[in-house]
Amino acid sequence: MKIATICTGIAIFLAPLFIRMGGSEAVCEGVVITIADSSRHSFISEEDIMNALRATGIRVTGEKISEIPLTRLEEKVKEFTELKVAEVYMSEDRKLHVYANQREPVLRVVASYGGDFFIDSEGVIMRRHNLYTPNLHILEADMVFVPDQMTGMNIYDSGKTLNLAKAFELVNYIRGNSFWNQMIDQLMMARDGSVTLVPHVGNHIVRLGQADNYEEKLNNLLVFYREAMPLAGWDRYRVVNIEYKGQVVCQRR
């Protein structure tokens, strides 16, 4: 009885929209595509989405609204791994609407084999598009990237990307700190997960080691930068090593 009541309520709620559309004989008068963040990112274009809709072989414009399989069309649009949100619906203007929101890349990874890719704010791997490269932190990683297998996956879902997930968290910390965000924009990760930072200022690299306790390590480095570097000179050292707890070990040129 309760289920029947709920279904009746839904029918009553949708009835006005159905009537405004013109009933069961109403036909679709066109397609409207909205990419919410197109001014910031251009991974996917309106043309890409329209081509995907056409590829389904489903006719839309001029067809009865009641016979258009919206779910199938939405599933097709959701195949774009670059999209975080993809919705397909019909509105009272008798047009099919596609609403899309692209993923927010936060890190570009240049793999030693297999090309390079982006990682979005949720840890999802995105294909790199040559037409657009946002200004991101770059991680040069000694790893094998297999686009067909890894694109669309979350780096937290596989043990094979554990070190990549740790480096991703390190980059998020750097991005959230105004000083380090300006100081560091390039990182290198070895096969064992050890990380090296390349600062903007000075002619040295910073060996962070494993991406564990990075906050403590960077705090030690900050003290060293503030107290020692102005006296020694920013070009005096070739390597600054902060991987050992409570220590900053330097190699001169």
Q: How many CB atoms lie within 10 A of CB 23?
A: 10
Q: What is the pTM of this model?
A: 0.80
What is the reported pLDDT for 18? 47
| Helix/strand/coil for 150 | helix
Whole-number pLDDT of residue 19: 39
Write the CA distances from 225 to 45, 159, 183, integer angstroms: 45, 35, 11
Calpha distance 205→198 (Å, rounded):
5
pLDDT of residue 97: 98
How do the pLDDT tens digits run along the chain, 253 residues long? 544 444 444 444 444 444 355 567 899 999 999 999 876 778 899 999 999 999 999 999 999 999 999 999 999 999 999 999 999 999 999 999 999 999 999 999 999 998 899 999 999 999 887 656 667 899 999 999 998 889 999 999 999 999 999 999 999 999 999 999 999 989 999 999 999 999 998 889 999 999 989 999 999 999 999 999 888 888 889 999 999 998 999 998 8
Would you say how long the chain is, in residues? 253
Which pLDDT score, from 0 to 100, does residue 130 have? 63
CB neighbours of residue 217 within 10 Å: 26
Q: Which residues lie across from 116 on neighbouring strands?
A: 110
Q: How many CB atoms lie within 10 A of CB 50?
A: 13
pLDDT attached to residue 8 = 43
CA distance 182 to 186: 11
Report pLDDT for 43. 87
Architecture of domain 105-252: 3-Layer(aba) Sandwich (3.40)
Domain range 2-102, CATH architecture: Roll (3.10)
Give the integer Cα–Cα distance in Å for 103 and 132: 14
- Name the residue ranges covered by the structural domains of the chain: 2-102, 105-252
- Cα(235)–Cα(217) distance, integer angstroms: 21
Cα 210 from chain centre: 24
Count of Cβ atoms closer than 10 Å to residue 108 Cβ: 21
